[in-house]
Amino acid sequence: MKSAIIVAAGSSTRFGGNKLNEKIAGKTVLERSVDIFRGISDEIIVVGDYEIEGAVCVKGGATRFDSVLNGLNAVSENCDIVAIHDGARPYASKQLVLNLFAECEQYGSAVPSLPITDTVWRKTQGGLSQPKRDDLLSVQTPQVFSCSKLRYAFANADRKYTDESGLFYVTYGEVHFVDGERGNIKITYKDDLPDYRVGVGFDVHAFTEGQGVILGGVTIPFDKKLQGHSDADVLCHAISDAVLSASDNKDIGHQFPDTDSKYKGANSMQLLAACVDLVNKRGYCVVNVSAVIICQLPKMSPYIDSMSASLANVLKTDKTCVNLSATTTEHLGALGNGDGIAVQAQALLRRIN
């Protein structure tokens, strides 16, 4: 029988509030931490003052040691393997949990760890020293153990350990390390929470007499051009509005009004670059953009890759993060009659400072 203990009784002092109740994509941090074990563990014990569907909730203790012990006391007697997990680690993958349970079945313990990549200093009363990074490991949770062995270790502990792997090692002289996951971070400070913003942009321009259509900074041969105060790059305009709205900036019409002569015939790629600067000033960067170009003619497929590459350079992201598609309206409506081109765009931003 496999059991999981989710430790959720901390005070979140460094976070400045209850971090486990913070929402990530509609669910709390704690709910997401619990969800990792659904379908894998036969029982889930949450240690803390919560009510979680499908889990047994028990009171926390004065220390982590006491809280884990309360969780162990609530685990079924026939438990073979038990996982101890921080409630503030909502990003561990189910595959990691499966790997850890499998490794524990073979070795009696399984602790996820990562090599240290930062330079580390040790401060002591005797001065400063620099340990070798190759000699150090960063330990994560869930930590998985033989339940009977862990019970014995807790029953015979000479002090209150803050980490189960340390207690296990002191008791048995060994602990089995397994590769952890870089994304399995523990939320400790507010900056550890993801901050993403989504924006939507739409624009449409009519055709007028002329030669060539400019989209995404790429000139597409055609017997008409798009009408507009600037160069009428409807793709740039829609993406500009998407990134502006996601970053809580006013739309492109406000930023570059068509009543201002200095924007007459303006290069829309330069306007988009200015919008990206506004996004960066708000503390965000562009993660990815998706846009659909809607028109009957001209055919877009030969130019999609060039447009993506051109836009990625201005958006300060990779070409693979600019996904463009094109469709028609099957000759329905003004666009289907060949009167112009419309674009709908979505942008995802991430906070960088």
Identify the CATH number of the domain in which residue 310 sits.
3.30.1330.50
* Strand, helix or coil for residue 344: strand
Nearest to 67 by CA among 76, 52, 57, 81: 57
**Domain finish residue from 130, 161, 192:** 192
For residues 186 and 307, state if they share a domain: no
CATH of the domain at 29: 3.90.550.10
For residues 28 and 158, state if they share a domain: yes
Nearest to 33 by CA among 21, 42, 15: 21
For residues 19 and 146, state if they share a domain: yes
Which phi and psi (to 5°) does residue 330 adopt?
A: 55, 45
Q: Compute the half-sphere exposure of residue 263: CA atoms within 13 Å on the CB side of its CA.
A: 20
For residues 159 and 205, state if they share a domain: no
Residue 250 CB-density burial (10 A; 0-12 exposed, 13-18 middle, 19+ buried): exposed
Work out the number of other CB atoms within 10 angstroms of the CB of residue 55.
Answer: 20
Residue 47 CB-density burial (10 A; 0-12 exposed, 13-18 middle, 19+ buried): buried
**Domain finish residue from 192, 208, 226:** 192
For residues 313 and 344, state if they share a domain: yes
For residues 257 and 302, state if they share a domain: yes
Contacts of 212 (CB under 8 A, 6+ apart): 219, 220, 221, 222, 225
d(CA 68, CA 32): 19
> What value, to the nearest 5°, has the Cα angle with vertex 179 and ends 85 and 10?
20
d(CA 161, CA 168): 10
For residues 182 and 222, state if they share a domain: no
* Strand, helix or coil for residue 347: strand
For residues 14 and 29, state if they share a domain: yes
Residue type, 28: T
* Strand, helix or coil for residue 296: coil
Given the structure tokens 């941090």, which residue do they identify?
Answer: 29
Number of domains making up the chain: 2
pLDDT of residue 318: 93
For residues 281 and 263, state if they share a domain: yes
- Sequential DSSP letters for 114-127: EE--S---EEETTE
For residues 130 and 203, state if they share a domain: no
Which phi and psi (to 5°) does residue 103 adopt?
A: -65, -40
Q: Which domain holds residue 201?
A: 196-351
Tokens of 222: 């055609």
pLDDT of residue 49: 94
For residues 203 and 147, state if they share a domain: no
* Entry pTM: 0.71
pLDDT of residue 26: 83
**Domain finish residue from 171, 192, 213:** 192
For residues 252 and 333, state if they share a domain: yes
pLDDT along the chain (353 residues), means of 10: 96 89 90 97 97 96 96 97 97 97 98 95 91 94 98 96 97 98 93 89 97 97 95 97 97 92 93 96 95 96 96 95 96 95 97 79
142: cis peptide before it, omega within 30°? Answer: yes
